[in-house]
Chains A and B, each alone.
Chain A
Amino acid sequence: MMENEFYEDDFEQLLKEKADQFSMYPSKRVWHSIYNNLHPSRRWPSVVMCLLLVSSLILIGYLNTGENSITKQINNNTFEQTSYEIINQTNTSQKTNQKSTGTQYSGTYQKPPQANTYNNAFGDVITSESDFYTYTIVKSNRPVPYTSATVTDNKPITGADNNNQDIIQTIDTYIKSNQIFADIAVYTKKAESNAARSSNKAAPGNNSTNVNTENVISKLDAFATKQNSNTPEAVLSKLTGPLVKNPTTVSTAAENTDRKNEEKAWIENYALQNKTAAKKWKGRLGYQLYITPAVNYRKLTTNSKGSATPFANADINNSISQKPGFGFEAGVGLNYLVAKKIQLKAGVQFNYTNYKIAADESNHPITTTILLNDPSTGYSYSSARTSTTTNSFNTTAVQPVTLHNKTYQISLPVGFAYRISSHNNVDWYAGATVQPSYIFDGKAHIISSDLKTYVSDRSSISPWNLNVGFETYMNFKVGSYNLQVGPQVRYQVNSTYKKDIALIEKPYAVGLKFGLTKGF
């Protein structure tokens, strides 16, 4: 009772006082809405990050839909094939439950590693909803159940009995419906909020731990009634023995030790037989360092229209003195094993290309021309240049000089490698890459229109290009490393020069690749 003596004059005063005392705490979404309204520009980075995260998750999920996928393990698992380690707290007075067929079911209850946060038929594995996938993999790979020595007449719980099989099937349905995990999540949160709970307190019989166990069991009850069982407890005990609904025993130190040993044995066995899904991507991903010393060649062609110059009509390759030059590629990359025999590769690579031209150095600059193409009409025309070197093809050079046509490139190779064969620690691979390239520096010596001189023009080099690479190599496994050795051919798709230059050069390199790969 708030007011014993009340006067009407004070009514409004009362209302105001009590209304002013009243307050409520808003939910977080209110502030978030206000914030987003006041700072709209800050929303976009989070939207971008969300999109990136979702895309990454989708990609990871897609890449993991192979033969080792978790989903396939779950779907392939049949209830009859698993031998349950579902076990129960033994109680000698309720140890066995005789069925009409005479089959006995019993077992030993195994508490989860944490401090008894779980207490039902599935508590030996699952301690939180995040264990779902682990549980299902465990379920499909579980070894022969470990049974306590204290239990006599023990027998692996199998699906041999038809009635039991039905119960198992319905329980499986319950698991796969995910409702059990909603129940577990609710229970786990409640358990975590009670900081004072110890392992003994959570022993069977503690009503506070049964809050959600009741929920689980009630569902099992519903399934059990379909099987014409007498009572829910009888049904459950047929499968698992006496459960937590009315437990009477309390853990002893010896039983705790036994349970710990059982847990340890099971965990070790599981670790031995099963890969952990969390590190799946790491087992497939590796990084590579490589270098490819190579010899660079080139083939020249002309692209001219309407020109009568010697350049336009001659065989350029037989009109100049050129020699292959030394170059190399070096880079780092990532390899990802998408299938048993296929790797995807991507990385960053530095390229140096070079080939040589034999020429004769002149004592003074020479006025000359090079052939260019008019981009609007497509017709060729001669453009004036100066030169200090002459073509020494089929002549004896007075002052011989070697001109180096070279480029310095950065490439982003993307490709794949296919394992052709494998024997012991040696594999044979073949692969290909596409390499978008950026030429950030170089030297270019272009033959003149009359084929008599060379014009040096750095600006004639096109900054962007595309290369393709083909390789085959042997892969040697040495400890945790892989060594690769094998030949490689790298071919430039587009001309080195810009489109207005009538000369077309497409060099190619033949080299020997040495690589070192290690997994993450």
Chain B
Amino acid sequence: MLSGCLRNNATAQEALYNRFSPRMLGVCYRFAKNREDAEDMLQEGFIKVFSQMHQYRNEGALEGWIRRIIVHTCINILKKNKKFSDSVDISNAHSIHIREEMIPSIMQAKQVVECIRSLPLGYKTVLNLYAIEGYSHKEIAFMLDIEESTSRSQYTRAKSMLEEILIRKKIIQKPRNKTNFLGAV
């Protein structure tokens, strides 16, 4: 399949697309505002995947390589649309209203993903990149053109906000109170 893609064989390309596109669309969906935007990100991402296929050096899994391209594509699109820079500003965080009522009551993974998507764009992006995609704060700062400290604080706030949503939606339970060695909370 890989060699076929390198030869620009349409059948091989379609096979690769069919194999990885569902999961990659899930990745895009976490970054995007809606399904249409997610599909646009997926489309652009796979075009880059196929045009840069010759750069894949068999180091690591193909899915991981594709995923990195997709994630970078998502970030680039968000930056290009200029929706991102405003949303990263922490000072706006307090006034952000989470539309929790929009989260549908569905099960399992989609519940969590929808909760992530309900976060403000900046929070959601940093959370996706750090907690799910595994980038470091330094890498995130470079990708998003922000300070590393901003990335850290954004992530902290995103995490607590998400946790609050998941608890409110009863997707998770409130963590047990931790006590110190003296028994205080």
Specify which of B10, B29, B50, B173 is in contact with A3 (CB 8 Å cutoff).
Answer: B173
B171/A2 in contact, CB under 8 A: yes
User: What distance in Å separates the Cβ of B152 from its nearest Cβ neighbour in chain A?
Assistant: 14
Give CA–CA (A235, B127) in the complex, Å: 62
For B171, what are the chain A residues with a Cβ–Cβ distance below 8 Å? 1-3
With A11-B159, A24-B29 already in contact, the answer to whether A30 and B21 are too (CB < 8 A) is yes
For B13, what are the chain A residues with a Cβ–Cβ distance below 8 Å? 34-35, 38
* Segment among B73-81, B110-118, B135-143 that sits at the interface with chain A: B110-118
Residue of B nearest to A9 (CB): B175
Q: Provide the A161-187 mask, 1 if CB < 8 A to any CB of B, else 0.
A: 000000000000000000000000000
With A6-B175, A7-B175, A38-B13 already in contact, the answer to whether A23 and B23 are too (CB < 8 A) is yes
For chain A residues 1-44, which have a beta carbon within 8 Å of chain B? Answer: 1-8, 11-12, 14-16, 18-27, 29-31, 33-35, 37-39
Give CA–CA (A100, B174) in the complex, Å: 73
Q: Tally A-B pairs: CB < 8 A.
A: 106
User: What distance in Å separates the Cβ of B51 from its nearest Cβ neighbour in chain A?
Assistant: 8
A19/B10 in contact, CB under 8 A: no
B170 contacts A by Cβ under 8 Å: yes
B172/A3 in contact, CB under 8 A: yes
B39/A27 in contact, CB under 8 A: yes
User: What distance in Å separates the Cβ of B24 from its nearest Cβ neighbour in chain A?
Assistant: 8
Give CA–CA (A209, B20) in the complex, Å: 40
Residue of A nearest to B8 (CB): A38
A34/B50 in contact, CB under 8 A: yes
User: What distance in Å separates the Cβ of B65 from its nearest Cβ neighbour in chain A?
Assistant: 16
User: What distance in Å separates the Cβ of B125 from its nearest Cβ neighbour in chain A?
Assistant: 13
For B85, what are the chain A residues with a Cβ–Cβ distance below 8 Å? none
User: What distance in Å separates the Cβ of B15 from its nearest Cβ neighbour in chain A?
Assistant: 11
For B110, what are the chain A residues with a Cβ–Cβ distance below 8 Å? 22
Residue of B nearest to A16 (CB): B132
Give CA–CA (A5, B176) in the complex, Å: 9
For A25, what are the chain B residues with a Cβ–Cβ distance below 8 Å? 21-22, 25
For A24, what are the chain B residues with a Cβ–Cβ distance below 8 Å? 22, 25-26, 29, 35, 38
With A11-B159, A16-B132, A18-B113 already in contact, the answer to whether A23 and B22 are too (CB < 8 A) is yes
A19/B113 in contact, CB under 8 A: yes
The interface residues of chain B, by DSSP majority, are classed as helix
B87 contacts A by Cβ under 8 Å: no
Specify which of B17, B112, B173 is in contact with A15 (CB 8 Å cutoff).
Answer: B112
B14 contacts A by Cβ under 8 Å: yes
With A1-B170, A24-B29, A34-B47 already in contact, the answer to whether A11 and B163 are too (CB < 8 A) is yes
B112/A14 in contact, CB under 8 A: yes
Give CA–CA (A37, B47) in the complex, Å: 7
B109/A21 in contact, CB under 8 A: yes
Give CA–CA (A29, B113) in the complex, Å: 24
A38/B50 in contact, CB under 8 A: yes
B150 contacts A by Cβ under 8 Å: no
Q: Name the residue in B23, B42, B47, B112 with the highest tally of chain A Cβ atoms < 10 Å from its Cβ.
A: B112
User: What distance in Å separates the Cβ of A283 from its nearest Cβ neighbour in chain B?
Assistant: 43
For B35, what are the chain A residues with a Cβ–Cβ distance below 8 Å? 24
A18/B159 in contact, CB under 8 A: no
For chain A residues 234-279, which have a beta carbon within 8 Å of chain B? Answer: none
With A34-B43, A38-B50, A39-B10 already in contact, the answer to whether A19 and B172 are too (CB < 8 A) is no
B131 contacts A by Cβ under 8 Å: yes
B46 contacts A by Cβ under 8 Å: yes
Residues of B in contact (CB 8 Å), total 43
B39/A26 in contact, CB under 8 A: yes
For B109, what are the chain A residues with a Cβ–Cβ distance below 8 Å? 18-19, 21-22
User: What distance in Å separates the Cβ of A17 from its nearest Cβ neighbour in chain B?
Assistant: 8
Q: Provide the A56-99 mask, 1 if CB < 8 A to any CB of B, else 0.
A: 00000000000000000000000000000000000000000000
For B128, what are the chain A residues with a Cβ–Cβ distance below 8 Å? 19
Give CA–CA (A11, B174) in the complex, Å: 11
B108 contacts A by Cβ under 8 Å: yes
User: What distance in Å separates the Cβ of B148 from its nearest Cβ neighbour in chain A?
Assistant: 18
B14/A35 in contact, CB under 8 A: yes
Q: Name the residue in A18, A19, A25 with the highest tally of chain B Cβ atoms < 10 Å from its Cβ.
A: A19
A6/B172 in contact, CB under 8 A: yes
B172/A14 in contact, CB under 8 A: yes
Q: Name the residue in A23, A25, A29 with the highest tally of chain B Cβ atoms < 10 Å from its Cβ.
A: A23
With A19-B132, A34-B43 already in contact, the answer to whether A26 and B21 are too (CB < 8 A) is yes
User: What distance in Å separates the Cβ of A83 from its nearest Cβ neighbour in chain B?
Assistant: 52
For B29, what are the chain A residues with a Cβ–Cβ distance below 8 Å? 22, 24
Give CA–CA (A30, B170) in the complex, Å: 35
With A35-B10, A38-B8 already in contact, the answer to whether A19 and B116 are too (CB < 8 A) is yes
For B172, what are the chain A residues with a Cβ–Cβ distance below 8 Å? 2-3, 6, 14
For chain A residues 297-323, which have a beta carbon within 8 Å of chain B? Answer: none
A18/B22 in contact, CB under 8 A: no
Give CA–CA (A27, B46) in the complex, Å: 14
User: What distance in Å separates the Cβ of A439 from its nearest Cβ neighbour in chain B?
Assistant: 46
For A33, what are the chain B residues with a Cβ–Cβ distance below 8 Å? 43
Residue of A nearest to B176 (CB): A7
Give CA–CA (A64, B112) in the complex, Å: 59
For B174, what are the chain A residues with a Cβ–Cβ distance below 8 Å? 6
Give CA–CA (A205, B152) in the complex, Å: 64
B25/A19 in contact, CB under 8 A: no
Q: Give 27 A-B contacts (CB < 8 Å), ordered by A residue.
A: A1-B173, A3-B172, A3-B173, A4-B173, A6-B172, A7-B175, A8-B175, A14-B112, A14-B172, A15-B112, A15-B127, A18-B112, A19-B113, A19-B116, A20-B132, A21-B109, A22-B29, A23-B23, A24-B38, A25-B25, A26-B39, A27-B39, A31-B17, A34-B43, A35-B10, A35-B13, A38-B50
The 7 closest A-B pairs by CB, nearest first: A18-B112, A23-B22, A22-B109, A21-B109, A18-B109, A22-B26, A24-B25
